[in-house]
Structure 1
Amino acid sequence: MKRLLVIVSLVFGLITNPLFAAPSLIPAPPQLSASSYILIDAYTGDILVEHNADQSVPPASLTKLMTAYIMEYELARGNLSFEDKVTVSEKAWRMKGSRMFIREGTQVSVENLMRGIIIQSGNDASVAAAEYVAGSESAFADLMNQHAQLLGMKNSHFVNSTGFPADNHFSSANDIAKLARATILQFPHNYPLYSEKYFTYNDIRQPNRNKLLWRDKTVDGLKTGHTEAAGYCLAASAVRNGTRLISVVMGAKSDEGRAVESQKLLDYGFRYYETRKLYSRGQVVNNAHVWGGSQSNVKVGFAEDVLVTMPRQQGTSIPATLDMHKEIVAPIAVGDVLGTIVVGTEGDVLLERPVVALEAVEEGGFFKRLFDNIKLFFTNLF
């Protein structure tokens, strides 16, 4: 095992002398003028900054991130298409607050409704979409809560598709960040909708309320919200030099305030942290011995890219330990977990990931299995 660890370390440059590792000095995060907020790495999910992030509060129109997410979910499964025509109900047409200005009895494409929800924050568009997907807004709310549970949104409960003030309708900064992350990672083809600055419908041109789209060219989403109870809210995302961050600010004092406070969070995160890829999907880290197989070794590596959030300027190499299962016996299927890699040092573990079989190994013949069983017996004996 010791020789195996040295080989892994030399090949991937993961062992470094701590005497030569420059410390990464990171100041305390900014204190924002908002009731709750969070900053996460979109690719790893690591939390960089948080304040009251699990506190349940009114989410206002950040609710529409879930409405849009469900639409994208249904689109991805072929249950909807952008070309579908949705007939506008009286309820949707009569919605107050921010609107797309759709008319009762007319038909609107799903694609236009998506833009109306995301860019114009249309309450009317959200209700029309909810009714089309689930038959009624209340049934759609039940669907929203099911998705929230699947996404691990533990401090959220939805009763409508818009975020219009209602009893028992709440979420949290952390939950909204999880939802934003799922939107970005699961449906990348639709994500450009969140960066569009204007949308015109019925000859009415409305701007995206996310001011950061104009101020910071690295920002490409996501959604604003405001009610008297919720204050001013903004879920934003930006990508710089391969690192994508998501900020959620809830309960800011003003429209300008939510933009300024969100910018503080994003700038802090990009200045002091980065996402680093340690291993690639399918990368081989070991050829492990197989007992009783049609071949004597199996290639071991990763099912997905291994990413880690790290302080900037930290050393270019990181300690890593590969711990393989003591006995690997055929048959082996692709994806079978055969060990674990631990990145970091004792007391400062950055991540642990399973290593898996990258190829299948069938059982060997009778005499091969018999011979290996005898060898394995004496190996364990001594």
Structure 2
Amino acid sequence: MKDKQLHRNKKEWVKKSVASALLLNMLCSSVAPVMAYAESGQTTATVSTNAASQSAMKVPSVDSIGLNVSSAVLLDAATGQVLLSKNSDVPLPPASMTKMMTEYIVAEQVKQGKLSWDTMVTTSENASLQTGSKVFLAEGDQHTVKDLYIAMAVGSANDATVALAEYVAGSEQQFVKMMNETAQRMGMKTAYFINATGLSRADMPEKYRPNTDRETVMSAMDAAILAKYIVNDHPDFNQFTTIQSYKFRPRDKAPIVNLDWMLEANKSIPNFKAYAYEGLDGLKTGHTEQAGYCFTGTAVRNGMRLISVVMGTDSEAHRFTETRKVLDYGFNNFEEKQIIAPKSTVKGVEKVAIKKGKETKVPVVTDQAVSFVVPKGTNPTNVTFTTKIDDNVVAPIKAGTKVGTITYTYKVDGTNQTEQRTVNLVAAQDVDKASGFRLFFRSIKNFFVDLFDGVKNLF
């Protein structure tokens, strides 16, 4: 009997031990994330989607499309997401793709009201002495900023480019300083400019060459970054880049013809229709003996704008046929998917604390949509987010006031590539400041709540 009793006691002890262990494990599992949140001030979660998981199409390798270029890159214009890369960080002579920086700076000057498209520019000696592509400006000639800009963007005119650069900065070399500073601000890692045109140093007018033996260089990635700034900061860029021909002077026998054969509008031009590409509306060609034939192109389809760069192709035609391969790779294999709509409530972060307000918490939403470019057929369920909330939100505040940020992270299916997007969390409604009377009684209430919690924790 005694042995049986001991056996029963032992079984009960084992059951209780197992139950205690399971309970402890459950408690630890539930408490750990809360403790992590309290210590870090951030939350991490997985974004759920209602779409059923699908099998994404297998994206072909870059090698499979047989690019005959020195370097190439393909970006999504909205996010900067890299979809294709071949030697894209190698600095190379960019030839007249350099003029994209001149275009950007001049467009910025107009945007900021520092000059207008109707401003008259007088041609200098330096501008008149330029070689290569030009509109044959003579020293003292006067033309509007707009006419010179079109000559630069459409016909790649070196003389028009220098005339604009000197008008903006006083001299070409002062303008070059602006170019290099802007490149640094944009995050262009390899770009270095010695002139506004992309000409080699030896082809510049001798009197106006810089005191350096360096040459202009820019990687395909940097060219794409520059193009991204152009299309996003100046979405009307294509009012110039889509001009097929332009008569610079009434007396000119022939118009300037756009060097971009891939313009969609060229599908009705016999000489160019074989190169015309659906949705393509820019951006800039380039050619020198050192650079070979280059092209930065951009096209939009189904709301997705891509930017392609090819450098070092072996002919005028091949820079466009290689660009077609790059853009086809993007449009055939990828699509844009919205993960979060604008003004969305984030699960787990529906409200944040606010001090001195009539309410103690304010509802928050995202300030804009979040999208990723994904392989076609993909429903990106493997998206996580991390929030960072301002711990000093004080009333009064207006709807739309930033109260934190949320960063979404997406691991691109089938690759080691990880993409991130950060948007603001903003107040969804106004919150007025509470009266002194309300704040006084709230402080008393909080005092007794804290006191009760302190006493309770003693037991």
> TM-score under structure 1 normalisation?
0.88
Query: 1:231 corresponds to which residue?
Result: 292
Residues 352 and 94 (structure 1 numbering): CA distance in 2 closer, same or farther, change over 3 Å? Answer: closer
Q: Select which of 292, 301, 305 maps to 2:369.
A: 305
Q: In structure 2, how many angstroms separate the alpha carbons of the residues matched to 1:186 and 1:339?
A: 23
Structure 2 letter corresponding to 1:229:
Q
Query: 1:5 corresponds to which residue?
Result: none
Which secondary structure state, in structure 1, belongs to the residue aligned with residue 290 of structure 2?
A: coil
Deviation (angstroms), 1:325: 5.5
Query: 1:207 corresponds to which residue?
Result: 257
- Contact between 1:15 and 1:320, CA under 8 Å: does it hold in 2? no
Query: 1:22 corresponds to which residue?
Result: 55
- Contact between 2:193 and 2:217, CA under 8 Å: does it hold in 1? yes
Structure 1, 349-358 or 238-247: larger mean CA deviation? 349-358
Structure of higher CA gyration radius: 2
Residues 345 and 371 (structure 1 numbering): CA distance in 2 closer, same or farther, change over 3 Å? Answer: farther
Q: In structure 2, how many angstroms separate the alpha carbons of the residues matched to 1:98 and 1:188?
A: 26
The reply on whether 1:318 has 2:381 as its aligned counterpart is: yes
Structure 2 letter corresponding to 1:206:
I
In the TM superposition, 1:75-154 aligns within 5 A as 75-154=110-189
Summarize deviations over 1:35-91 as a string: whole Å, max 9, x none: 111001001100111111111111100010001110001011000100000011122
The reply on whether 1:367 has 2:440 as its aligned counterpart is: yes
Which secondary structure state, in structure 1, belongs to the residue aligned with residue 140 of structure 2?
A: coil
Q: In structure 2, how many angstroms separate the alpha carbons of the residues matched to 1:340 and 1:189?
A: 31
Q: In structure 1, how many angstroms separate the alpha carbons of the residues matched to 2:452 and 2:226?
A: 51
Q: In structure 1, how many angstroms separate the alpha carbons of the residues matched to 2:92 and 2:365?
A: 43
Q: In structure 1, how many angstroms separate the alpha carbons of the residues matched to 2:434 and 2:426?
A: 17
Unmatched tracts of structure 1, length 5 or more: 3-7
Which secondary structure state, in structure 1, belongs to the residue aligned with residue 239 of structure 2?
A: helix
In the TM superposition, 1:155-304 aligns within 5 A as 155-166=190-201, 167-202=214-249, 203=252, 204-213=254-263, 214=266, 215-285=276-346, 287-292=350-355, 293-304=357-368
Residues 377 and 311 (structure 1 numbering): CA distance in 2 closer, same or farther, change over 3 Å? Answer: farther
Structure 1 letter corresponding to 2:288:
T
Q: In structure 1, how many angstroms separate the alpha carbons of the residues matched to 2:170 and 2:418?
A: 48
- Contact between 1:14 and 1:319, CA under 8 Å: does it hold in 2? no
Query: 1:49 corresponds to which residue?
Result: 84
- Contact between 1:43 and 1:275, CA under 8 Å: does it hold in 2? no
- Contact between 1:291 and 1:369, CA under 8 Å: does it hold in 2? no
Deviation (angstroms), 1:277: 2.8
Deviation (angstroms), 1:327: 8.6
Q: In structure 2, how many angstroms separate the alpha carbons of the residues matched to 1:380 and 1:263?
A: 68
Structure 1, 290-299 or 76-85: larger mean CA deviation? 290-299
- Contact between 2:56 and 2:375, CA under 8 Å: does it hold in 1? no
Which secondary structure state, in structure 1, belongs to the residue aligned with residue 75 of structure 2?
A: strand
Q: Select which of 426, 442, 448 maps to 1:357.
A: 426
Identity value in percent: 33
Q: In structure 2, how many angstroms separate the alpha carbons of the residues matched to 1:80 and 1:194?
A: 20
Q: How many residues align?
A: 372
Which secondary structure state, in structure 1, belongs to the residue aligned with residue 350 of structure 2?
A: strand
Deviation (angstroms), 1:105: 1.3
Structure 2 letter corresponding to 1:227:
T
Query: 2:109 corresponds to which residue?
Result: 74
Residues 352 and 123 (structure 1 numbering): CA distance in 2 closer, same or farther, change over 3 Å? Answer: closer
Which secondary structure state, in structure 2, belongs to the residue aligned with residue 119 of structure 1?
A: helix
Structure 1 letter corresponding to 2:367:
A
Q: In structure 2, how many angstroms separate the alpha carbons of the residues matched to 1:87 and 1:318?
A: 59
Q: In structure 2, how many angstroms separate the alpha carbons of the residues matched to 1:343 and 1:75?
A: 37
Structure 2 letter corresponding to 1:65:
M
Q: In structure 2, how many angstroms separate the alpha carbons of the residues matched to 1:379 and 1:217?
A: 70
> TM-score under structure 2 normalisation?
0.74
Structure 1 letter corresponding to 2:426:
A
Residues 295 and 114 (structure 1 numbering): CA distance in 2 closer, same or farther, change over 3 Å? Answer: same
Query: 2:42 corresponds to which residue?
Result: none
Unmatched tracts of structure 2, length 5 or more: 1-29, 34-44, 202-213, 267-275
Residues 108 and 373 (structure 1 numbering): CA distance in 2 closer, same or farther, change over 3 Å? Answer: farther
Residues 15 and 325 (structure 1 numbering): CA distance in 2 closer, same or farther, change over 3 Å? Answer: farther
Structure 2 letter corresponding to 1:189:
D
Deviation (angstroms), 1:303: 3.0
Q: In structure 1, how many angstroms separate the alpha carbons of the residues matched to 2:452 and 2:343?
A: 31
Which secondary structure state, in structure 2, belongs to the residue aligned with residue 201 of structure 1?
A: coil
Q: Select which of 382, 394, 402 maps to 1:336.
A: 402
Deviation (angstroms), 1:345: 6.7
Deviation (angstroms), 1:263: 0.5
Residues 110 and 355 (structure 1 numbering): CA distance in 2 closer, same or farther, change over 3 Å? Answer: closer
